[in-house]
Structure 1
């Protein structure tokens, strides 16, 4: 039952990813043209918000949304994107402060002009702008430090690269291509930006999201089974079928192991064990197809082990 549920959930999420991928590409281009004065961080945040809302709508009524043409998906996502980017102020303020940390000239950017307009609507401060910006920088640095304290250590190095690339104006897709990361790993890093670092900077906890980009980590027992099955020379697909997980789950957890690929000796030993097992069942009078069912493999695999093809 768990295998069927895992397979159906994976198929359900994969269909959404396939449908939303062209929408995401369209929004990335459209967002730059429609909101040229907004920072890249604000546009990426709006893009992720559109993804989350789209996922919620699709999860609530998958049949209806599956029947809708791509134009409807794009139009709905644009509405969410536009509403978010016009109402979200937190990202713009932190983008303004971060830009002030790295710029070495006195030119005012569009984000700074917007931030200045927002400040004029508030009560006048008795402190000059330089002192306020210094306070903002200190708060931002402390917030980032708190975020790294909560962030798992294995993501620290890549998260610093992400922050540096965002400051240089790279989008999420460009960052993934720039470092050769997987799509899943990049989404995990940006999700930590939207949750872990957002909470550290603002003190507000984001509501939980039903969509999770990363796979669940394997337990110690599952890691032991992964090593044993991989040592037998089984593929990612076959290992996932044995354990009731997707191919992506197997790949992610195996990549965290060192020397997970079986050696030539281990493969030869596993093959000899399979041949002996098949021969023993054959000596008992079982047919090849029944042997395949008994061992959970294919009929052609049994024939190859016996040297009949």
Structure 2
């Protein structure tokens, strides 16, 4: 990781934290318990990969920073809501997230359910309040569609449903890929496309290139997650290590093995780089994020 990239990343992460805080209701606003729990779930943790991707994609087309900020916050709110629900006893039943107790542990299950619902709604409020003097309404509507599609049964929720139905089953590599393209990849793609749409309407060639990049990093993210789940400890990960194996869930490591999984992640990193060739030097941050996704240790 270069010093320049590290500085850029820290700047975006800090700015995103401030934006997210500002886009949420105050903890003192009624209902206070819900608003406090929403802030607990969203703020003060996480790598902010999706905001980083949105800002990097926005740089391709000189997107307005205020529009990118809303796109980045919206997709991160959807991601946070998915984690809150994913951790609940009826789903993955986890007690640790980002190094602290999960929402249903810190509060209660009913509050966790409502936190997820409210964060999902707030994501669309944040996008809806974008300045239409800066972004044309038709393009803003397209952004709504991208985010909604990535969040629903054809995206993250669909992938989670397949995941829950796959516990204890033997999946083929193609089935595992389909699951993770929905569960993890859909929101990563949304972050990239939303950042780009903040700058311009995309033509077919631009969308195809961004789709190839998003597909590669989406799969790579999950492959690396599976490797880390099998090799790192809970303190490093900030969540319960080894949980996939304990829950008898199919993973890239369980199907391919550890070293082939690492090799696959590297192949996907190179595919992500190749997909960005049409954008030249303006895609530097997206290339560096592909490297970060594959080479991360947590």
The two structures have a TM-score, normalised by structure 1, of: 0.30
Q: TM-score normalized by structure 2?
A: 0.31
Q: Higher relative contact order at CA 8 Å, sep ≥6: structure 1 or structure 2?
A: 2
Larger radius of gyration: 1
